[in-house]
Amino acid sequence: MPAIYAMYGGEDRRHVAYVGIGDDLPRRVTQHLVNRNSSATTDAGAVRLHPDHISAVAWWEHSSFTDRIALSAAELAAFDVLEPTMRSRGGITAAAKQRTADEMFRQEMTTCSLALRPVGWSS
């Protein structure tokens, strides 16, 4: 099932390192942290994901995520709530932006995003 996921870094100063979406979460996390062959870990840009510094991974699934527009819109809500250092690089469509603007949808996804914080997280 498709999911939104957050990767946390740091020990003393915890932070949201990355937020992304995945259709097959175990495969996607393995791609980032084990195989290290995702664009987030191999990109030569100014910011990239450093798997050795990831201390926790959290995610949520939702029945609406089978709809790509809802999944992308939920990712936008997670970006706003969690303020990750790095965001997935997928294209954000106008339809996803429009769905995120729907107050009921945004409120539900914001609540779900807050639940992505690992146990013991304090902001």
Q: pLDDT per residue over 66-114, tens digit each?
A: 999 999 999 999 998 889 988 876 678 899 999 999 999 989 888 888 7
Report helix, strand or coil for 60. Answer: strand
pLDDT of residue 102: 92
pLDDT of residue 10: 78
Q: Is residue 120's pLDDT more than 60? A: no
Weakest mean pLDDT among 10-14, 36-40, 95-99, 115-119: 115-119
List, as one string, the DSSP characters of 29-51: HHHHHTS--SHHHH--SS----G
Strand partners, 77: none
pLDDT of residue 94: 92
Domain ranges across the chain: 3-114
Q: Token pair 């769905």 is at which residue?
A: 99
Mean pLDDT of all residues belonging to the chain: 85
For the chain, the residue count is 123
Long-range Cβ pairs for the range 107-110 (8 Å, 24+): 109/73, 109/74, 109/77, 109/78, 110/77, 110/80, 110/81
pLDDT of residue 14: 79
0.75 surpassed by pTM: yes
